[in-house]
Structure 1
Amino acid sequence: MRHYIFFLVMLFIVGKSSFSQTPTLTENSKISFLTCASGDQLFSAFGHSAFRVQDSVLGIDVVYNYGTFDFNRPNFYLNFAKGKLIYSLSRRSFDRFLFEYEMEKRWVKEQILDLSLAEKNNLLIFFENNYLPENRDYLYDPLLNNCSSITGDILVQQFGDAIVFDGSHLDRLYSFRELVRQNLDINSWSSFGIDLAFGAVVDRKATVKEHMFLPYYAMEQMRNTTKSGKPLLERERTILDYSEHTRNGFFPMSPLFWFTLLFLFTGIVTYLDHKHKTRSRWLDFSLFLITGIIGTCILLLWFATDHTSTPKNFNSLWALPLNLVVAFVFVFQNQLPTWLPKYIWFALALLCVLILLWILGVQVFSPIVIPLLLTLATRYFYLLKFMKK
């Protein structure tokens, strides 16, 4: 028996090998839910969730982590762009898992589940079955299927209708976009990029269970979840006690600063063009080219990928994909074509449609986009006036 226990402990320390067979947990065992604080990088800005299984009699203390990904996996970045990113369930010793958060000074909190011995063993069998090489990989979705949202799925799968997710602790149900914004500085490039990529589909209200895609909400939900009418949690404790990380942005590096600067610059150039009765074709080329490239990327995310959060993206109403073609008209043609005024009127009309969709709540756009809309409108109106003359 001693050799068997020593063998199990060594397997957990290495963290790479599988159990030769799933051990039977004792009465001393505990299964808990871990929540880790947000970090400084974008991929860690939302925190993290995992399950811990420990048994002092068997010498087991291991973490099952559904948030593992491998940058070295073939076509990693291509699969990420296509919405086919693969995440995996990993298993490692608790000490090794905790080391990363100790180094980054991120708090870790533990919520011990109130389970019977049979339920603990069934849950361990479930984790071990998931950890088999043929089962450990899954298709990642940042909003619907990640390391945190999978928690609710596991509870429902294990306990069925006995699990009740009470949402009375929520002030209201938030949309997915609102929930993501709660974890990011809205005047940051990461927040702007996410808002730009997200379509109108993320502006629906998330259900109580869907709020659990964010680890902090999952942790709070565990406190407000019952199993067979009784609280799911036995008790909680703080394993690492650090202050929440704060991210202070530098305004001159923010998108609002640069987009406002672009608007002012475009206004000055447009005034000089008006004064000298000319047009700065390099400015028009740049504006049309950049918005055309952005619009093309938006359409690709909408129609050519499996992302669930990027369809119906009406940012394409200001970032027109056709601008990519029109941009070269300003470079290679001295005489602007007769159809160009109609196209610009069309572009201006789409800007109005975008504002209407924003007001009606069909899609919520980043407020950082306002200087860009003003920049385009300024140049569109000037080109109409210039071509009319």
Structure 2
Amino acid sequence: MVKKLRFLLLVVSSFIYGQQITLSNTAEISVLTVGPGTSLNDAFGHSAFRIKDPNNRLDVVYGYGEYDFDAPNFYLKFARGKLNYLLSKDSFSRFYQVYVYFNRTVKEQVLNLSQSEKQNLYNYLINNYKPENRGYLYEFFFDNCATRIKDVTKIATKNSIKFNLPKAYTPKTFRSLIYNNVNKNTWGSLGIDMALGAVIDRKATPEEQMFLPENIYKFFEAATKKDGTPLVKKSNIIFTKRPTNISNNFFSSPLFVLGMIALVIIFITYKDFKNKKQTQWLDITLFSFTGLIGILILLLWFATDHTGTHQNYNLLWAFALNILMIGQLVNKKPKTWFIKYVKFLIIMLCLLTLHWIIGVQVFAVGLIPLLIALFIRYIYLVKYYATLNNQ
């Protein structure tokens, strides 16, 4: 019985995927741009294709951005950048209802395509939606739901599109483009700035800026075809986000929370200085925290396929070897070389400041109080251990 059911499903699926719908002259293909949501994973918006053909009773949306939750070792693959994302397909009515429910603006650009170009694009999506073709290795900056819209459109039109610079275009780094969508003083922004390295502090080319859905919209608006006609025939807003009260509580922001922690560190350091002693639990906590963060950064750099995590100079403050120094912190009298090691950590913090000033890498604003507190604490430890060794 089970074998018969499997065979029946195979026959039905083969029939469905094998069907070739010829689009009518009334068919329209448009690009849908969804505005940002409230959480970090949807803060950059979404892009999708809409295929509308009243004569064929067709109104579907294809989007490159669905998680494959059935993939084995899902979370491990996600962390390592080896997780395949899927091409999704849904009715336009359901797509619309979802984003209205989540109160996200939806804009539409009807593409100025010939009948053969429409059919090419639709055929490409049908073929891409087959089970063996649906998955692709997602890459945030270079292969995502937005860049796929650009790439598929170019393929369907046989590279006959010229992407002109939109009005008010300005060259920006990848990190600056991210900041357009995420407030610098948020935990999401802090995580991004700690996880992503100096590679995203280079200027993005105009085409590379299209990794963001909103920039797909802007570049498509300005794009022309080979014959000089606009790529977009008409644009309209399908749904406008309803006004909402945005709560931006500074007292829960990284700058405030880490600022309070930094004040505690500086206060304890001052008390230690006055009493000529060392608060060991504080130093063990700081070395453990910075060491573990450093190990995580190294893993993101060398043990994953994420291109944006390379050359991450957060290692200048989150030094992985700190985790191995816990033994020296608990000793009544640490080795002489450990004093040199702490001096090395101070130099590393100075190098971090230099990297930030000359623009090699931009670091999280929320880290500033913590970095100042670490600098002060390390200077005190050098003085304290030097005095201890001279006794």
Normalised by the size of structure 1, how large is the TM-score? 0.93
What secondary structure, in the 3-state scheme, does the structure 2 residue paired with 1:40 have?
coil
Q: How does 1:240-255 map to 2 (within 5 A)?
A: 240-243=239-242, 247-255=246-254
In the alignment, residue 96 of structure 2 is paired with which amino acid?
Answer: L
User: 1:341 aligns to what?
Assistant: 339
Q: How does 1:160-199 map to 2 (within 5 A)?
A: 160-199=158-197
What secondary structure, in the 3-state scheme, does the structure 1 residue paired with 2:182 have?
coil
CA contact (8 A) 1:107 1:244 kept: no
CA contact (8 A) 1:39 1:245 kept: no
User: 1:376 aligns to what?
Assistant: 374
Listed one character per residue, the Cα deviations across residues 74-97 of structure 1 (whole Å, up to 9, x for unaligned) are 212111110112110011111111
User: 2:150 aligns to what?
Assistant: 152
Q: 1:25 deviation in Å?
A: 0.4
CA contact (8 A) 2:33 2:45 kept: yes
CA contact (8 A) 2:294 2:319 kept: yes
1:301 and 2:300 equivalent? yes
User: 2:4 aligns to what?
Assistant: none
| Residue number among 56, 59, 65 corresponding to 1:58 in the alignment | 56
In the alignment, residue 305 of structure 2 is paired with which amino acid?
Answer: D
| Residue number among 26, 30, 38 corresponding to 1:32 in the alignment | 30
Q: How does 1:1-389 map to 2 (within 5 A)?
A: 18-228=16-226, 229-243=228-242, 247-331=246-330, 333-389=331-387
Q: Distance in 1 between matches of 2:96 and 2:177?
A: 27
Q: 1:161 deviation in Å?
A: 4.0
CA contact (8 A) 1:112 1:233 kept: yes
Listed one character per residue, the Cα deviations across residues 314-358 of structure 1 (whole Å, up to 9, x for unaligned) are 000110001111133213x22212111100111111111111111
CA contact (8 A) 1:152 1:209 kept: no
CA contact (8 A) 1:106 1:245 kept: no
Listed one character per residue, the Cα deviations across residues 50-75 of structure 1 (whole Å, up to 9, x for unaligned) are 00001101100000111111334321
CA contact (8 A) 2:165 2:222 kept: yes
CA contact (8 A) 2:165 2:206 kept: yes
Q: Distance in 1 between matches of 2:122 and 2:156?
A: 11
Q: Distance in 1 between matches of 2:332 and 2:123?
A: 73
What secondary structure, in the 3-state scheme, does the structure 2 residue paired with 1:231 have?
coil
What secondary structure, in the 3-state scheme, does the structure 1 residue paired with 2:336 have?
coil
Q: 1:37 deviation in Å?
A: 1.4
What secondary structure, in the 3-state scheme, does the structure 2 residue paired with 1:145 have?
coil
CA contact (8 A) 1:192 1:366 kept: yes
Listed one character per residue, the Cα deviations across residues 282-306 of structure 1 (whole Å, up to 9, x for unaligned) are 0000001000000110011111111
CA contact (8 A) 1:286 1:327 kept: no
Q: Distance in 1 between matches of 2:173 and 2:16?
A: 40
Structure 2 residue runs of 5 or longer lacking an equivalent are 1-12
Q: Distance in 2 between matches of 1:221 and 1:126?
A: 22
Normalised by the size of structure 2, how large is the TM-score? 0.92
Listed one character per residue, the Cα deviations across residues 123-175 of structure 1 (whole Å, up to 9, x for unaligned) are 11111111111111000011111101111212222224421111142431111
Q: In structure 2, do the counterparts of structure 1 residues 351 and 186 end up closer, same or farther at CA, with 3 Å as the change threshold?
A: same
Q: Distance in 2 between matches of 1:156 and 1:104?
A: 31
Structure 1 residue runs of 5 or longer lacking an equivalent are 1-14
Q: 1:244 deviation in Å?
A: 6.6
How many aligned positions are there? Answer: 374
In the alignment, residue 85 of structure 1 is paired with which amino acid?
Answer: L
CA contact (8 A) 1:285 1:328 kept: no
Q: Distance in 2 between matches of 1:124 and 1:347?
A: 57
User: 1:4 aligns to what?
Assistant: none
CA contact (8 A) 1:188 1:249 kept: no
More helix by percentage? 2
Listed one character per residue, the Cα deviations across residues 19-47 of structure 1 (whole Å, up to 9, x for unaligned) are 44120000110000001111111111111
Q: Distance in 2 between matches of 1:189 and 1:274?
A: 33
CA contact (8 A) 1:30 1:54 kept: yes
In the alignment, residue 351 of structure 2 is paired with which amino acid?
Answer: V
CA contact (8 A) 2:328 2:338 kept: no
CA contact (8 A) 2:346 2:378 kept: yes
Q: 1:246 deviation in Å?
A: 6.6
Q: After alignment, is 241-250 or 285-294 more displaced?
A: 241-250
